[in-house]
C-alpha cells in the first residue's frame, strides 16, 4: 500500500506540473498572437503610407498647375506673351515649369 500511495503523490505532482506547463504554453501562445497582431498592424500602416506616398506624385502629375488644366494654362501664357506681358524667355521658363521639364 505504501508504494501505491507514493505513486498517487507522484502522479498528483505530475498533474500539477502539467497544469503549470499548460498555463505556460497558453501564455506563450498569447504572447505570440499579440506579436503577430502587432506585426500585422505595422505592416498595414506601412502599406497605407506607401499607397499615400505613391498617390501624391500621381496627383501632382495630374494637376501640376495647382489643379488647373495644363492646356488652358499654356493658352493663357501664350496670350500673355502675345500681348507683351511676358517675354519669350519668361514664356519658355513658365512653360517648362508648367510641364515639369
Q: Are residues 16 and 54 in the same domain?
A: yes
Q: Are residues 56 and 10 in the same domain?
A: yes
Q: Does residue 92 sit in helix, strand or coil?
A: helix
Q: Are residues 1 and 44 in the same domain?
A: yes
Q: Kindly report the average pLDDT of the chain as a whole number.
A: 77
Q: Are residues 50 and 99 in the same domain?
A: no
Q: Are residues 51 and 73 in the same domain?
A: no
Q: Are residues 44 and 78 in the same domain?
A: no
Q: What is the SS3 assignment for 9-73?
A: HHHHHHHHHHHHHHHHHHHHHHHHHHHHHHHHHHHHHHHHHHHHHHHHHHHHHHCCCCCCCHHHH
Of the listed ranges 13-17, 41-45, 49-53, the least confidently predicted one is: 13-17
More confident residue, 47 or 59: 47
Domain holding 97, by residue range, is 63-101
The number of distinct structural domains making up the chain is 2
Q: Are residues 84 and 54 in the same domain?
A: no
Distant-in-sequence, close-in-space partners of 61: CB < 8 Å, separation ≥ 6: 100
Amino acid at each position: 500500500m505504501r508504494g501505491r500511495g507514493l505513486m498517487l503523490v507522484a502522479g498528483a505532482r505530475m498533474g500539477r506540473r502539467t497544469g503549470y506547463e499548460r498555463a505556460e504554453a497558453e501564455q506563450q501562445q498569447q504572447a505570440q498572437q499579440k506579436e503577430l497582431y502587432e506585426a500585422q498592424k505595422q505592416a498595414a500602416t506601412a502599406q497605407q503610407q506607401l499607397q499615400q506616398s505613391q498617390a501624391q506624385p500621381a496627383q501632382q502629375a495630374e494637376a501640376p498647375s495647382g489643379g488647373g488644366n495644363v492646356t488652358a494654362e499654356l493658352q493663357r501664357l501664350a496670350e500673355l506673351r502675345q500681348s507683351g506681358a511676358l517675354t519669350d524667355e519668361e514664356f519658355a521658363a513658365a512653360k517648362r515649369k508648367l510641364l515639369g521639364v
